[in-house]
Amino acid sequence: MRREEIESAVREAAEKYTAAGASAMIRPTSGQVKSKQESLIPAQAKSKQETITPAQQKARRRRQNALLRNVIQVIFFLMMPGAFVAGFSGVKSIFQKVSEGSVLELNSFVMALIGLSLFTIVFGRFFCGFACAFGTFGDFIYWLSGMIQKKLFRRKKQYGLPERLSPWLQKIKFLILALIVLTCATGAYETIGTYNWNPWSVFSFITALRFNLNGYMIGAVILAAIIVGMALKERFFCQFLCPMGAVFALLPQLPFAWLQRDADNCIKNCRACQTCCPVDIRLETDGFRNGECIGCEKCAGVCPKGNLTRWDRTLLKNEMLPVIIRAAILFLMGGYLGLCRFL
């Protein structure tokens, strides 16, 4: 643990240093005519008064991006808290129909599944990163846990699971998906009555402000365990357990939906993007290709050289606009599919 702390501190320092270096390289252009020693003092004074350094600008942009993401998350949480359940109920509905041997129908759940899947194929797992109510809930729990650890226990680094376990734990969700699909397709889902194990049902009680958990005790216990996990690891449920996430990860997401990383241009041993990644993608070896990326775009914000790009970000010369456009498309689609509570 201590070694990791030191490593992260060094990394942070390196980030600051490179950012400061970049700013030092840019700043003197205004006062190139003057000698270095003369220009240094007024430049510093000036920066305190009106202009901000590129490093500060970058930090401010990161805060704005984070704020935008949180605002979108809250909007979707309030308006479409049932979207992820509806999408996965589509999967269950298909296989339950198969177990009965009856004709598949395009009911509203299957439509939600198709809609979310198409959106994910075109835009990547933007839904996971920005719109899923359970993901937002997990982000909130992790943030809360971090705050408590910082304020009460004065820990600088949040407790967490070791990063090297993540690729293995991330496979669990495929097992869960396979298990649910199998129980649905054999009809066992109904006969055993595992519906009261469903932590999402219990979660949906809470979003509907109903606190009568009669008959859902197993689900409540599982949800409590998940909350503990969420407090220990960012996006714990999303990356390790979520069966809907497993479906999304198995979808053929179009390669231009992802950020592209220009590895040749990277600072050696920087790893800033990898360190901030909530789902521990090993960008060096895996890239974005394994379907685990939840499209949170944190890496693009943290990269000291702006090495993470995507066609729409480049085209619009803006980081926020593509996010807003995606959110708007998703929102309209969700409203059309009947996922919005107030439409």
Partner 1 sequence: MKYQSFITKLLAVVLIGVILFHYQNIAAARAAIVAENEAAIAEVEAYNRGIQAENQKREAAASGESGTAEDAGSTAMLYQNGTYEGTGNGYGGPINVSVTIEGDTITAFEVLSHDGEDPAYYALAESLTETVLQEQSADVDTVSGATFSSKGILEALNDALDKAVNG
How deeply is 13 buried, as exposed, middle or buried, from its count of CB atoms within 10 A (0-12, 13-18, 19+)? exposed
Size of the residue set binding partner 1 (CB under 8 A): 40
**x-or-dash pattern for partner 1, window 15-54, by CB under 8 A?**
----------------------------------------
Specify the stretch interacting with partner 1 by CB under 8 A; choose among 48-56, 266-274, 283-291, 320-328.
283-291
Q: Note whether 208 binds partner 1 by CB under 8 A.
A: yes
Tokens standing for 177? 């998906």
Question: With contact defined as beta carbons under 8 Å apart, do 52 and 60 qualify?
Answer: yes
Cβ partners under 8 Å of residue 176, min gap 6:
241, 243, 246
| CA distances to 9, 87, 111, 263, 327 from 140, in Å | 25, 22, 29, 32, 19
Q: Note whether 192 binds partner 1 by CB under 8 A.
A: no
**x-or-dash pattern for partner 1, window 221-250, by CB under 8 A?**
-----------------------------x
Considering only CA atoms, which of 130, 119, 118, 112 is closest in space to residue 338?
Answer: 112
Q: Note whether 92 binds partner 1 by CB under 8 A.
A: yes
Figure out which of the listed residues 70, 108, 260, 309 binds partner 1, where binding follows CB under 8 A.
108
CB of 341 to partner 1, least distance (A): 5
Cβ partners under 8 Å of residue 279, min gap 6:
166, 170, 234, 235, 238, 239, 292, 293, 294
Figure out which of the listed residues 177, 266, 302, 337 binds partner 1, where binding follows CB under 8 A.
337
Specify the stretch interacting with partner 1 by CB under 8 A; choose among 84-92, 219-227, 259-267, 276-284.
84-92
Figure out which of the listed residues 19, 65, 82, 124 binds partner 1, where binding follows CB under 8 A.
82
Considering only CA atoms, which of 181, 328, 49 is closest in space to residue 336?
Answer: 328
Q: Note whether 133 binds partner 1 by CB under 8 A.
A: no
Instruction: Kindly calculate the radius of gyration of the chain based on its CA atoms and give it in whole angstroms.
Output: 23
Q: Note whether 290 binds partner 1 by CB under 8 A.
A: yes
Q: Note whether 167 binds partner 1 by CB under 8 A.
A: no
Sign of the Cα torsion 130, 68, 334, 252 reads: negative
Figure out which of the listed residues 19, 43, 72, 85 binds partner 1, where binding follows CB under 8 A.
85
Provide the total of helices (H) and of strands (E) in the chain, helices listed first.
Answer: 18, 2
CB of 24 to partner 1, least distance (A): 38
Q: Note whether 289 binds partner 1 by CB under 8 A.
A: yes
Contact residues toward partner 1 (CB under 8 A) are: 82, 85-86, 89, 92-94, 96-98, 101-104, 107-109, 111-112, 189-190, 195, 201, 204, 208, 250-255, 289-291, 337-341, 343
